[in-house]
A and B are shown apart, each in its own frame.
Chain A
Amino acid sequence: MTIRPLTRRRANGSPYQREEHVDVQIAAALALSPGDLVRRIAVRDVESDAYLQEECLVYLIREHHRADHRELVDQLWRALLRRSAKHINGKLQSLGRDHVDDAFGDVVTELAEEILDLEDDRGDFLQVRFWFGVRRMIYSVFDHHSRQINQSQRDLSSDKTDVGVMSETTADPSISMEQRALYLDGLNAIPEPQRTAFRLRHFDGWQIATGDPDTPCISRYFDKTPRTIRNWLNEAEQALRAWRGDTR
């Protein structure tokens, strides 16, 4: 059976290409009987010659979905999710219990939509770099839910923080690895949106404000004045001090 080529194109116009060994795995899998294929996809040892990569499983799901082999499609999906569900769920945990289930469902929905849409090649990337494609979905969904959380928390608190206090953190945006490790545990003690502002500033190194539209900055991201952002950072530090039991 001929392996269908990918048709999605890069910016330079060249189509995506699967790794050669993925094509070899696909060819071998297509030659198997349904029973043998089910046994083959159960192999979890990545070092085994029988192991089929996730990119190969994506191709097989599309191929058997096209042929309406429902039982086999179900088995292939189970194999793919056995490898990816825990990873996806783990990456979403910091959204909190109230949101993680919905976010998990959103990522799996997007994954299924891209793989099962036979009229479109937007899922081709999943046959080239499956895990990067999954990460892209996780981060997009994470951002979406995080915004919802931020908005609901902002709605609950009035914007009363703009009192012109300069945070000490603005003078030294870089923090040591030790401080960072310490702060990591305490980040959840900071309410939103102060937590995101603090993280962007001290963990990702974003500037509070910049005149360059191509350079990301916290002020533009939140659409708030630099003064408000400084106050949020100050409040985040106060929350961290309280978390450490430091009442200074």
Chain B
Amino acid sequence: MNRDPQTHEETLTDVLNTFVASTEEPTPAALTAFIQRYPQFRQELTDFAVGWSQSHWLAPSTPDPVDEGALIERAMGVVTSVLERRQQQEAAVDSPPPRLALAGVPIHHLAESAGLSPALWRKLDRRLLHSIPAQVVARVAEVMRLSTETIERYLAQPATLPANASYRAERAPQLSESEDFFDAVRGDLTLDDERRQGLLVLGHPAAAPTDEEEG
């Protein structure tokens, strides 16, 4: 990850790496020099030096013969579990969200940020629209702080009923038919003319993004 050299600050890990590379032993003089250089890590450097010294000086209480093969297999088990955990985390990050919603952020704020009306946002949330321009998907992804691929996967799922829907038991719930995005824009009376026109010129989902939206 690139960082601005002007604002670069060394982390504790960086400092400890440098400390280890700078001296054979954690002598008080070497430790003092580092504490003076990095006073924000005074405690961490001191603790680290104690661990270093202890590992350096103390002999094994009872030296055990090491089965190197077993040791490597144990280490491989650890590496495999780290790999699996990372893959699970990455899969979770890539999974579509359960809703197009952010905790504590009202729908109309999300819609406004994406240049949509709350009604259009709700239809997207329930996956009731088709032929959605790529630019709109990109805006929603930005507002939701997710990738466009993730939002595309969300929108490709089956339509849903409203989260707070209630209906009489004797009537089966009905899902609305999928609606063309541009028809929805034309029929949305809450949009002002400027915003409506802005959405209608976005064109077909296959159309290239405008220069402005490419950024």
Contacts and interface: CB of A to CB of B under 8 A. Distances in A.
Interface of A: 7-11, 13-14, 65, 73-74, 77-78, 81-82, 85-86, 89-94, 96-97, 101, 104-105, 108-109, 112-113, 116-117, 119-122, 125, 129, 132-133, 135-136, 138-144, 146-147, 184-185, 187-188, 196, 199-200, 203-207, 213-216, 220-221
Contacts of A136: 13, 16-17, 19-20
Contact of B71 (A65, A89, A133): A89
Nearest to A8: B14
Q: Considering the complex of A and B, which 6 residue pairs feature the smallest CB-CB distances, nearest first?
A: A143-B51, A13-B5, A94-B58, A93-B60, A112-B82, A139-B52
B156 interface: no
Contacts of A205: 27-28
Nearest to A186: B59
Most A-side CB within 10 Å, residue of B48, B50, B59: B50
A171 B177 CA distance: 90
Interface residues of B, number: 55
Interface string B70-82: 0110111011001
B150 interface: no
A139 B76 contact: no
B60 A94 contact: yes
B28 A91 contact: no
Contacts of A125: 13-14, 17
A144 B149 CA distance: 42
A188 B46 contact: no
Interface in B1-46: 1-3, 5-6, 8, 10-11, 13-14, 16-17, 19-21, 25-28, 31-32, 35-36, 39, 42, 46
